[in-house]
Amino acid sequence: MKNRIYYVKENDEILGMKIIELPGHTGGTMGILLKDGTTFVGDAIKYINDAINRATSFTYYDINEANKSIARILNVAKMVVPGHDTPFQVENGNIKPINEV
């Protein structure tokens, strides 16, 4: 396993994927930003309503950092794949589920 583990930090790129730090829900949460603006965020945004409300519905670590991470995601992403909900687009600050686009 030792030769298959990659240690990453903010702004590292692996195979065209950029690492972004998204602390708050849990300490050390990270996401992946693709060049087309698709962002895989795990539990930094668990549900589409967290994005719509621009606030987390649940956190273990730091609610203020979690809400900052949500704002950060919505500022850089064109499409978001959340941890527990349908993917959605971000267009001019509006949140649209992919199935309604």
CATH of the domain at 90: 3.60.15.10
84 occurs within a structural domain: yes
Owning domain of residue 44: 10-100
What is residue 51's DSSP assignment?
H
Residue 73 makes CB contacts below 8 A (sequence gap 6+) with: 22, 31, 39, 41, 44, 45, 51, 80
Q: Which residues pair with 82 in a beta bridge?
A: 42
Burial class (CB in 10 A: 0-12, 13-18, 19+), 55: middle
pLDDT tens-digit readout, 39-80:
999 999 999 999 999 999 988 889 999 999 999 999 999 999
**2-6, 27-31, 73-77, 94-98 — which is least confidently predicted?**
2-6
Does residue 4 form part of some domain? Answer: no
Q: Is the confidence at residue 7, as pLDDT, over 70?
A: yes
Q: Is residue 19 in some structural domain?
A: yes
Continuous segment of H or E residues that includes residue 48: helix 48-53
Number of domains in the chain: 1
